[in-house]
Chain A
Amino acid sequence: GAVVSQHPSWVICKSGTSVKIECRSLDFQATTMFWYRQFPKQSLMLMATSNEGSKATYEQGVEKDKFLINHASLTLSTLTVTSAHPEDSSFYICSVVKPGSLDNSPLHFGNGTRLTVT
């Protein structure tokens, strides 16, 4: 069965609005979750590492004020795309790793959220 639940699976929003994406770990408590972005025909790019109870760690070039991450519990992390623009349109995927895993791998992925900003 699914280890990670991501919601919504797709969303269309108008430019300037904000969109929240939820990522739930179903099988285990996840102190760490990862958010990736994937543009069409491209690979996954790590956006940020979400840490339960503390601030997320963002990758270089990812605006923390634009992509707000909240990891409020051991089973839920949210990514909010604020003031969305068409260039933010992408496939956003979260992943979790089982506690105690070596080097935070392997990853268990949600089914992704297709965001389209019009």
Chain B
Amino acid sequence: TQLLEQSPQFLSIQEGENLTVYCNSSSVFSSLQWYRQEPGEGPVLLVTVVTGGEVKKLKRLTFQFGDARKDSSLHITAAQPGDTGLYLCAGGRNKIIFGKGTRLHILP
């Protein structure tokens, strides 16, 4: 059974700081996705990483896929209150499973 472990589970930091969220597995994934979820809404896709070692940037967010395609990271530079939310990594073959998520709170 494929599992995705996310860390940290909770993170509360000051506006302007940098942070990194990790998504790890013992299994190889053909791709991993990162989603962000606001309270009371469905998750919204941020990015899909496909190639081992791949780095993708989305404004202040940098996503990396591990060389062995077993892990991924999300780095946010100069965090802003608008970045507050639940960040979820997900992956799988034919059915998508989710990590437990990282609940991020940016303090103004």
Contacts and interface: CB of A to CB of B under 8 A. Distances in A.
10 contacts: A91-B40, A93-B43, A103-B31, A103-B94, A105-B92, A106-B33, A107-B33, A108-B45, A111-B41, A112-B40
Contacts, number: 67
B66 interface: no
Interface of A: 4, 6, 34, 36, 41-46, 49, 91, 93, 95, 102-112, 114
Given A105-B91, A109-B43, A114-B40, A43 B31 contact: no
Contact of A34 (B41, B44, B93, B96): B96
Interface residues of B, number: 25
A62 B72 CA distance: 29
Given A6-B42, A103-B92, 15 more contacts: A4-B42, A34-B95, A34-B96, A46-B97, A49-B95, A95-B42, A102-B30, A103-B30, A103-B93, A104-B94, A105-B31, A105-B48, A111-B41, A112-B40, A114-B40
